[in-house]
Amino acid sequence: MIIKILGSGCNNCVRLEANARKAAEELGITAEFVKVKEMADIAAYGVMRTPGLVVDEKVVSFGRVLSPEDIKALITK
Amino acid sequence: MAFFSFLNNTFLKMTWLNEFVGKLVSDVFNISLESQLGASLQFFIYDVIKIFILLSVLIFTVSYIQSYFPPERTRKILGRYKGFTANLLGALLGTVTPFCSCSSIPLFIGFTSAGLPIGVTFSFLISSPLVDLASVILLASIFNWRIALAYVAVGVFLAVISGTIISKLKMEDQVAPFVYKNSAMPDLEMDELTFKDRIEISIAGVKEIVQKVWLYVLIGVGIGALIHNVIPESFITAILGADKWYSVPLATLVGVPMYADIFGTLPIAEALVSKGVGIGTALSFMMAVTALSLPSIVMLKKVVKNKLLGVFVGLVVTGIIIIGLLFNQFAFYLI
């Protein structure tokens, strides 16, 4: 599973990544984490509000720092 | 009317808090309120507490309202209109769409690649940081409702006019080419938020803003306290007095490069006005600080070419100076 964090490196992106890592760990999933920092690349996903969360190339959330529980629900959906 | 003024004094101006802090300073700290130190201390403690209370309540409410206007929806709405109406709607939606300077570039790309004219996008980008619901209520708390409403009106007006001029100049070629490469930008479909989601978003909003602005508020109130009680009035009015024509351009140019939050600049504006500075001069300073800053200009430079950037900055600066001069001229209608 590839999990991408979209964001220019602001505080919220860091928090979202930490929560996503925790979610993956608690689910026992080995995921590869990628940071997407270039604005052009972020926009290519259709995301206008950072931070964005992309799981296997599908945008699952944007503009919010989700809790590990919310992310777990999104991954297993 | 008496009831309204009671509400205003209790919840917005919090006169009871000022009295309480005054008692604290004079009776507990044993510092006379007549002294410079006592008066500065009273202003500082009262203003910091007041701003943080107002800030928390306001950001919560505003975040809740804003959760109904995500930029994805704004983009869809704006796509249906053309010309002046689109600029006006862009400016109005700018006041309720959640905006963070770190998202301004993806937002610019998102709007532009969806085919919105850049003038409409600029109307939005100007009004969004400038006229924010929370700052309007704070203005009413510090000055009065007439000034707050006049501020909204001129802020929206500035955004509409600047955007319209940018549209008329047909500067579509002034946008970095990669922006148009995303023309296939997907329209993300999101589930409708639940009540619980919106409450969570609002609480997160309060936490985020307080973390981001507390330092600016402390610095702003600190400077305000100094202006209030330490710096001689004659010195301030000599440079920025309402009768000096150059006070407005000076306040604007000082404010432009500064990056601070409106919540930090309000106490400075308040203190300046109490020392005889024109209300227009103080508002120009606030508008310049919030509408433009070096970091935001540097970011914008990544997606637009120098000519458009120059036109944008030029229009906003000129507009703010004109607004300041008008406010100084007609302030007696508002106070």
Q: Taking residues B221-232, what's their average pLDDT? A: 86
pLDDT in tens, B324-335: 999 888 877 776
CA distance A54 to A72: 13
> If we measure between CA atoms, which residue out of B45, B41, B59, B46 comes closest to residue B14?
B46
> Is A12's CB within 8 Å of B208's CB?
yes
Q: Which pair of tokens denotes residue A13?
A: 């992106």
Q: Which pair of tokens denotes residue B12?
A: 């917005």
pLDDT in tens, B234-257: 888 888 887 788 899 999 998 888
Q: Is A64 on the interface with B (CB under 8 A)?
A: yes
Containing structural domain, residue B134: 69-176+201-333
Higher pLDDT, B261 or B29: B29
Q: Taking residues B272-291, what's their average pLDDT? A: 89
Q: Which pair of tokens denotes residue B181?
A: 């490469």
C-alpha distance from residue B226 to each of B23, B43, B192, B289 (Å): 21, 10, 49, 20
> Is B109's CB within 8 Å of A40's CB?
yes
Q: Find the radius of gyration of the CA atoms of chain B.
A: 21
Q: What is the ipTM of this complex?
A: 0.75
Q: Is A65 on the interface with B (CB under 8 A)?
A: yes
Q: Spell out which residues of chain A touch residue B98, defining contact as CB-CB under 8 Å.
A: 49, 63
Question: Highest-confidence range of B3-12, B125-134, B310-319, by mean pLDDT?
Answer: B310-319
- Count how many residues are written for chain A: 77
Q: Is A10 a catalytic residue?
A: yes
The model's pTM is 0.83
**pLDDT above 70 for B182:** no
Higher pLDDT, A35 or B135: A35
Q: Is A32 a catalytic residue?
A: no
Please report which confidence band the pLDDT of residue B147 belongs to, taking 50, 70 and 90 as the band edges: confident
Neighbours of B145 (CB within 10 A): 16
From the candidates A1, A2, A10, A43, which is the catalytic residue? A10
Whether B181 is covered by a domain: the verdict is: no
Q: Taking residues B309-316, what's their average pLDDT? A: 94
Please report which confidence band the pLDDT of residue B1 belongs to, taking 50, 70 and 90 as the band edges: low
Whether B261 is covered by a domain: the verdict is: yes
Please report which confidence band the pLDDT of residue A74 belongs to, taking 50, 70 and 90 as the band edges: confident
Whether B10 is covered by a domain: the verdict is: no
> If we measure between CA atoms, which residue out of B167, B139, B164, B141 comes closest to residue B153?
B139
Instruction: List, in sequence order, every residue forming a beta bridge with A62; answer none if it has no partner.
Output: A52
Q: Which pair of tokens denotes residue B18?
A: 């000022």
Q: Is A68 on the interface with B (CB under 8 A)?
A: no
Q: Spell out which residues of chain A touch residue B69, defining contact as CB-CB under 8 Å.
A: none
Please determine, looking at this structure, whether the domain spanning A2-76 carries the CATH number 2.60.40.10.
no
Neighbours of B177 (CB within 10 A): 8
> If we measure between CA atoms, which residue out of B326, B11, B314 comes closest to residue B161?
B314
Neighbours of B155 (CB within 10 A): 28
Q: Is A47 on the interface with B (CB under 8 A)?
A: yes
What's A4's DSSP letter? E
**pLDDT above 60 for B183:** no
Neighbours of B239 (CB within 10 A): 12
Mean pLDDT of chain B: 85
Q: Taking residues B148-166, what's their average pLDDT? A: 93
Q: Which pair of tokens denotes residue B183?
A: 């023309």
pLDDT in tens, A23-67: 999 999 888 999 998 877 888 888 888 888 999 988 888 888 888
Q: Are A53 and A59 in contact (CB under 8 A)?
A: yes
> Is A8's CB within 8 Å of B102's CB?
yes
Whether B9 is covered by a domain: the verdict is: no
Q: Spell out which residues of chain A touch residue B71, defining contact as CB-CB under 8 Å.
A: 48-49
> If we measure between CA atoms, which residue out of B89, B245, B63, B213 comes closest to residue B159?
B89
C-alpha distance from residue A63 to each of A42, B122, B185, B239, B244 (Å): 12, 21, 17, 44, 45
**pLDDT above 60 for B310:** yes
Instruction: List, in sequence order, every residue forming a beta bridge with A32; answer none if it has no partner.
Output: A2
CA distance B331 to B114: 42
Q: Is B102 on the interface with A (CB under 8 A)?
A: yes
Whether B24 is covered by a domain: the verdict is: no
What are residue B241's phi and psi, to 5 degrees? -55, 155
From the candidates A5, A6, A13, A16, which is the catalytic residue? A13
Residue from B188, B200, B302 whose CB has the most chain A CBs within 10 Å, to mutate: B188
Q: Work out whether strand A2-6 and strand A32-36 pair parallel, antiparallel, or are unpaired.
A: parallel
Per-domain boundaries in chain A:
2-76
H or E segment and range at residue A6 = strand A2-6
> If we measure between CA atoms, which residue out of B283, B320, B317, B269 comes closest to residue B297?
B317
Higher pLDDT, B319 or A65: B319
Q: Work out whether strand A52-55 and strand A58-62 pair parallel, antiparallel, or are unpaired.
A: antiparallel
Burial profile A27-48: b = 16 or more Cβ within 10 angstroms, e = fewer: eeeebeeeebeebbebbbbbbb
pLDDT in tens, B75-94: 889 989 988 999 999 999 98
> Is A46's CB within 8 Å of B185's CB?
yes
Q: Residue B314 has what pLDDT? A: 95
**pLDDT above 60 for B210:** yes
Q: Is A49 on the interface with B (CB under 8 A)?
A: yes
Q: Residue B263 has what pLDDT? A: 78
Higher pLDDT, B332 or B151: B151
What residue has token string 């704070």?
B138
CA distance B335 to B148: 11
Q: Residue B187 has what pLDDT? A: 63
What total of structural domains would you count in chain B? 1
> If we measure between CA atoms, which residue out of B291, B180, B109 comes closest to residue A48?
B109
CA distance B37 to B43: 10
